[in-house]
Structure 1
């Protein structure tokens, strides 16, 4: 295998050197939009919104924005995507072979996102670009001699009544791996197709000593549980006892920082953390620069991006888009500012609001960080708490208390007197005594709007601590265990009441 590692590393380095200088972000994005419109101009969507005429416009992007409205999932699905199971050429040529079930953080029901062959090719293309970027890192050849473990959702897809296959996007991707991927892909398609998450992880733990894992990919919470199960199963003090070449972890799905300390505790050597922005709607960005977890936007892979300022120019006080928000292009954004992301893609999504809020960390190249979800914006009584502000306070609380807090949930609820409070649930081993006062103080320090709200309509906060076991049991009961599942950090009052009822049951 040593010669293979040398060849792979050399090949990546040579390809990176031979790649021509990329076009400017603005020109790249205009080219992507033109390609998308050209391919879809004869679809029902393309004819309805006059893609053919838009392509003749002197200012392509302005014409596109003028003719095509902004779509959220409900609007896109109701008007267009629901017809794609029966009819061809609706929002993209042909019919999709797969529908991706979203992880369901923003609503009660799973969303079904069409997955076309062109879309699958685009995700592979972004993945290849991410691999090629590894030449920027000083990884040893042993990494390229080892195997990659992907903790995906089940690769066993369901067939709906029309014969289309459905599953989470990571499971669809694994299902479409060519057979030769099994040379280095772990756990392999057989284990990856086990539907029950616990059974799948038990199978991984059983086989773990026979693998040479150099890189792992998956959502932090589930990867951490998997690694702990392997460690317990084989009575290890560190995961590096069986995987000495484990050097890279590709995170994604949720913010990593609340898990960093727990990952460090089970590793005996430092590992490199790469962030990925891989959603049901696309492989949107990836870390390509050492020393940062900022992610480079995939500007040349079948996506056209637009950006709505995450302030009063684009959203209401409740985090909803304005009826006529300001929309900016890649050449109009600023470093350090937050934006709601709009996506047009080769899956037949057009000016589609994914629901994520991003912040630009650099413009050359355009690199971003995800700072939260539009629905993870808690502002019922003017507190204006973004996910990033809440993460900051939680991390500071964990540091003060000397314990990790991996997950948290919060909701604005009314107490018995009819006054608004914030109900927090922390997943940790902390003693809850005095936590509310400490967390309240930290939130006031990180957000002045929260401090103002606490002096007015937001009367108090309540903090309840639950164990990781209780949290996992809750996910099992709600069928949200494993895979790409992400629990909403900001809950509706009704959902929080259900969670509290589950926690308090005998």
Structure 2
């Protein structure tokens, strides 16, 4: 295997030297839009919105914005995507091969996103670009001699009554791996096809000593539980006792920082954490530089992006898009600006609101960080708390108390007097004494709007502490255990009440 590691590392070095200068971001994005429009011009969606005429325009981006409305999932699904199960050439040529069920962090049920062969190709293309960027990280050759463990959702996809295969996007990706991936991919397709989360992780723990894992990919909460289970089963001090070549962890799905301390605690040697923006709607960005957790936007891989300012120009006081928001292109955004991401893709998504808020960290090349979900914006009584501000306060609270708080949930609820308070549920080993008062102080100091709300309509906050086992049991009870499942950080009042009842 040593010769393979040398060859791969040498290949990355050669690729880095041969790479030509990248296209100007604006040019790259205009080319992506033209390619998408050209491929879909004869679909029902393309004919209805005049894709062929848009392509003839001197300014196709402006024409596209004028002719095609911005859509959320409910609009795209009810008007277009649902028809693709019975008819071909609706929003993309042919029929989709799969439907990806999203993890459902927002909304009442999981979404079903069409997945085409071309779309799966974009996933591989962005993944290849990410691998090529590893040249700059100066990893040892031993990493390239080892295996990759991908903790996905089940690769045993469901088949609906019309013959379409459905599952979470990570499971769809794994089910489409070519057979030669078995050389380095773990846990392998047989274990990945186990539907029950606990059974799958137990099988991974059983086989772990037989593997030489150098890299792991998956959502932090579930990867951490898996590694802890392996350590417990084999009575290890840390995970490097069994996998000494483990050097890279590719995170994604949620912010990593609330997990960093727990990952450090189970590792015997430092690991490099790479962030990825891999959603049901696309592999949108990836870690590009060893000096930053910012992610490089995939501008030349089958996606066209637009950006709506996450402020008075684009959203209302609750974080919902305005009826006529300001829409910007890649050449119009600013470093430090926060934007709602709008996506068009070769899965037949057109000006689609993913629901994520991003911030640009640099423009050359364009690199971003995810700062939250539009639905994770808590503003029932004017508190204007973004996910990023809440994460920051939770991290400070954990550090002050010498512990960790991996997950949290919060909702604006009415107390017995009919007045609004913020009800928090924290996943931690800390005692609840004094946490509410200190969290309140941290939020006041971090956000003046929150401080104003606390002096008026927001009458207080309450904190309930639960264990990781209770939290995992809650997710299991709601069928959201494992895989690509992410925490619904900001809840509606009724969901918070259901969580509190479950805890009780």
TM superposition score normalised by structure 1: 0.99
Structure 2 residue 126 is the aligned partner of structure 1 residue 138: no
Q: Distance in 1 between matches of 2:424 and 2:75?
A: 32
Give 1:13 deviation, angstroms.
1.3
Structure 2 residue 376 is the aligned partner of structure 1 residue 376: yes
The C-alpha deviation readout for 1:326-351, integer Å capped at 9, x for no partner, is 00000000000100000000000000
Aligned to 1:258: 258
Give 1:293 deviation, angstroms.
0.6
Give 1:15 deviation, angstroms.
1.3
Aligned to 1:248: 248
Q: Distance in 1 between matches of 2:140 and 2:486?
A: 33
Q: Distance in 2 between matches of 1:162 and 1:263?
A: 43
Aligned to 2:212: 212
Aligned to 1:360: 360
Structure 2 residue 180 is the aligned partner of structure 1 residue 183: no
Aligned to 1:438: 438
Aligned to 1:32: 32
How many pairs does the alignment contain?
504
Aligned to 1:392: 392
Aligned to 2:170: 170
Matches within 5 A, 1:117-156: 117-156=117-156
Aligned to 2:502: 502
Aligned to 2:303: 303
Structure 2 residue 455 is the aligned partner of structure 1 residue 452: no
Give 1:272 deviation, angstroms.
0.2
The C-alpha deviation readout for 1:388-430, integer Å capped at 9, x for no partner, is 0000000000000111000000000000100000000000001
Aligned to 2:407: 407
The C-alpha deviation readout for 1:18-40, integer Å capped at 9, x for no partner, is 12111100000000000000000
Aligned to 1:22: 22
Q: Distance in 2 between matches of 1:227 and 1:160?
A: 34
Give 1:93 deviation, angstroms.
0.3
Structure 2 residue 465 is the aligned partner of structure 1 residue 469: no
Q: Distance in 1 between matches of 2:129 and 2:427?
A: 36
Aligned to 1:341: 341
TM superposition score normalised by structure 2: 1.00
Give 1:289 deviation, angstroms.
0.3
Uncovered stretches (5+) of structure 2, i.e. residues with no partner = none
Aligned to 2:61: 61
Give 1:487 deviation, angstroms.
1.6
Give 1:11 deviation, angstroms.
0.7
Q: Distance in 2 between matches of 1:39 and 1:496?
A: 45
What RMSD over aligned residues (CA atoms) do the two structures have, in Å? 0.4
Matches within 5 A, 1:225-304: 225-304=225-304
Give 1:355 deviation, angstroms.
0.0
SS in 2 for 1:128: helix
Structure 2 residue 106 is the aligned partner of structure 1 residue 106: yes
Aligned to 1:423: 423
Structure 2 residue 1 is the aligned partner of structure 1 residue 13: no
The C-alpha deviation readout for 1:447-481, integer Å capped at 9, x for no partner, is 11000000000000000000011111111111110
